[in-house]
Structure formats: structure tokens, C-alpha cells
A and B are shown apart, each in its own frame.
Chain A
Amino acid sequence: MLTLLKKTPKVLTDIVLILILAGAAGFTVNYFSDNGIQMNEKNEKPNSDLYISKEHAIKAFKQNKAVFVDARYEKYFNQSHIKGALNIPADQMDDKAIDFLNSYPDKNQLFIVYCDGEECDLSLKVKNFLNELGYNNLKILINGWGVWQKNNYPTDKN
């Protein structure tokens, strides 16, 4: 083993050591950190109870039965968003928690969370966060912002 190590070019042992150090540091810190992220995060499948169709979303919007939650970053929300929506950017969720809890004491209120693009998972993160705050009537509108713009539904600017 030692002979093998001696025969290996120094550059290779350096690289392997740096890779091991980086891996050990990264995954250990991530595991213990409050800001750590989940490994192998599985996306929940469409058509489950978690998602709401475009038709149901616009119906809830017109009847004022849902609060729309925009999960995009603040800058994009300020440019334009679904009319009446509030912004909980996925990168500032913790900062918004207390205000949100005070503003919406009813844990059965319907919230429709959205972001931009079919692949966008910010809304899933925000939905999971609201779940942790105790809200239990949460739906995701996939590609909500895209759907809204495409159909010329009402929008707002800050």
C-alpha cells in the first residue's frame, strides 16, 4: 500500500486528497448546518393532491378563495406577479415566517404556491416550508407564472 502510494505521481495524490477534504468538509457541514439542503431530494409526481390545475386555480382566483404565494426571488416578483399574490422568496423564507403567521392565522386557508417554468422547484420548497409552519391546505400551480402570462390573467406590479 505504501509502495503504491510512493509510486503514484504527487499530483494525483494531491488531487485525491483535495477531493476527499472537500467532500468531507462539504457533506459534514451541510449535514449539521441549519441551511443544509437535502440529498437526493425527490420531486413529488404531478397529478398528486399536491398540484392544482390551471382551471381550478383561476376559479379559486376569481372567487377569491385562495391566497397566491409567489416563490420567485424578490426582484422578479417586484417586476410583475399574479394580482394579489404575496411574495415568499425561496431564499428568504425564514425572514418572512413571523409576518406570515401573523397575517394568516387560519391554518386551513387555501394557498396556491407558484414559480416560473415547468422545472422550477422553488414553489415546492416554499410549500414544504408552509407545511412546517402548520398550514395544511397548500397547492402548487406548476409553471404558475408562465401559465398566468400565457392566458393574460390579471397581474400586478410593485
Chain B
Amino acid sequence: MDKDFKDYTVFTARILLGLIFTGAALTKILDTASFAEIIKNYQILPEYLVNETAVFLPYLEYITGIMLLSGIFLKGAAVISFGLLTAFTGSLIFNMSRGLNISCGCFTSVAEEVTNIHYIYYLARDFVFIYIAFYFTKNIFSKNKNQN
């Protein structure tokens, strides 16, 4: 692949990821209580960790997004973004497989009713995001390796 073109796609992936993460975090930051309710509905974390996670997770998303957009701590932000997306998708699949009808809470803190179509849409979207994060993470590490 042409080097300039590759640089461009890596940059685009980084900006996209940054926007996804800051955007996803904002509504959760503004309504922590409702987001806590969504985490609770996932029924994965023990109850005593629900509120702590509801406070911590949106800021982790937000700061990761800001780092991606600004280009600071890029390697860490890349790994965290890939890890978070994988964890979110994993928990969605886990709850799908046990038949729980839960709201995804991905870009909103408002619990909404979900159907199988919603699930398929969430999953398709998550896999696209994971691919972007994987592509960016892989390239940021190989780029630095080549430079060293």
C-alpha cells in the first residue's frame, strides 16, 4: 500500500475512534445514574462495583477519546480503545446468548427496549468499531517499531 495513503487511513481511523469514544462518553457523563442502571441490567458485574464502574467508565472512554484525537499517549489509548470495544461486544454477546433483553447503553444512558434486530445492529456496529481499533492499534505499533 502506498505509504501516504496508509498514513492517511491510520490517521482517519484514529480520528474516527476518538470521535466514537468522546461521543459515546458524553451522555453517560451527563446522566451517571441512568448509566448505572444499564450496567446493572447487564448483570455481569457484582452489585458493589456497579456505581463505581458507572462513574469511572465514561471518563475512561472520554479521556481515551481525547488522547486519540490529540495524539497524546497514543499507544495506551489505542490498546484501551481496542480492549474496551472487545469487552463491550463480549458482554453484549454474553447477554444475547443467555437471552437477556437489555439495553446496550452504547451511545446513550437511556434504557430502551431492544429486539433481536437491535442486537444484530449493535453487533455489526461493534465489529466495525473493533476492526477500526484493531487496524489503528496494529499500525501504531508497527509504525513505532519501524522507526526504532
Contact = CB atoms under 8 A, between A and B. Distances in A.
Interface of A: 10-19, 21-23, 25-27, 29-30, 33, 35-41, 43, 73, 75, 90-91, 119, 121-122, 125
Nearest to A23: B56
B50 to A, nearest CB: 9
A21 B79 contact: no
B51 A14 contact: no
Interface of B is mostly: helix
Contact of B56 (A27, A35, A122): A27
Contacts of A30: 32, 55
Contacts of A36: 32, 55
B82 to A, nearest CB: 11
Residue of B32, B59, B60, B112 contacting most chain A CB atoms (<10 Å)? B59
Interface of A is mostly: helix
Interface of B: 29-34, 36-37, 40, 43, 47-48, 51-52, 54-56, 58-60, 62-64, 67, 73-77, 79-80, 110-113
Given A11-B76, A39-B51, A73-B111, A18 B63 contact: yes
A59 to B, nearest CB: 31
Contacts of A25: 59, 62-63
Residue of B31, B32, B54 contacting most chain A CB atoms (<10 Å)? B32
B56 A22 contact: yes
